[in-house]
Structure 1
């Protein structure tokens, strides 16, 4: 297990999207490159991630684990919107870490700026400055 010492940020998060990854170590590298920080990661004796909690530094978090059965239906089929003050930077970090463009960055008619990528497993991530009210 790996665990950070500051639990105050994680304790204030009230929604944790849950993902399953086929290649969890590749996705851990991708999440770290995009800007997520590890809160805790629990591995079994075989080294598979049974449970992980990672935080988005501007608020929020995700939980994830390894697809150890090969039959998890949502592996690669999730979609998440991340609010950030720097959508261009997050978008570029995602691409540099292996994502592909799904929707180019643009200024939105409803406010904010954003764009979308597909991560190495096909999950859809949108990075934007628009904060729903």
Structure 2
């Protein structure tokens, strides 16, 4: 049965326009919605990934727009979360990310639970784990 995620991560970046460029070029996200601000900045953006049963979404905005006590990784003193994304081919995805300048921290490698994965850090400091393990099929 096709599904989509009801849980959607929301991220903040110092330069959200640069983050959108990076996430689309390096990781293959697609702009779904971009809401510019009156000052030329960015109020809100939604980027989709995948299709069919493997689709997801991230929302992002600028660090200048306060949202409760949300902090950038560098403001928090480190990364507090990692986003996992199901991919068909971790090696090809990693090669694309590396070519676009992503910082590859690990892999691609085979995990004990049967996934082929790699971990990257984006320019905002967030960790992304891309792998073939699909929890919807277990």
Contact 1:67–1:75, Cα closer than 8 Å, also in 2: no
Provide the residue aligned with 1:116 in structure 2. 119
CA distance in 2, matches of 1:69, 1:109: 41
Tell me, what secondary structure is at the counterpart of 2:114? Answer: coil
Change in Cα spacing, 1:124 to 1:44, as seen in structure 2 (3 Å) is same
**Is residue 51 from structure 1 mapped to residue 18 from structure 2 by the alignment?**
no
Provide the residue aligned with 2:129 in structure 1. 126
My pick for the range that moved more, 122-131 or 93-102, is 93-102
CA distance in 2, matches of 1:45, 1:89: 39
Matches within 5 A, 1:1-133: 12-33=4-25, 34-57=27-50, 58-68=54-64, 72-75=70-73, 77=79, 78-132=81-135, 133=138
Aligned length in residues: 124
Show structure 2 runs of 5+ residues with no match: none
Tell me, what secondary structure is at the counterpart of 2:55? Answer: coil
Could you state the TM-score of these two structures normalised by the residue count of structure 2?
A: 0.79
- Aligned Cα RMSD in Å? 2.3
Change in Cα spacing, 1:51 to 1:125, as seen in structure 2 (3 Å) is same
Show structure 1 runs of 5+ residues with no match: 1-11
Contact 2:115–2:133, Cα closer than 8 Å, also in 1: yes
Could you state the TM-score of these two structures normalised by the residue count of structure 1?
A: 0.82
Tell me, what secondary structure is at the counterpart of 1:14? Answer: coil
Q: In the TM superposition, what whole-angstrom CA distance separates every residue of 1:69-97 from its partner, at most 9, and x where no partner exists?
A: 58851356342111010111221222222
Tell me, what secondary structure is at the counterpart of 1:26? Answer: helix
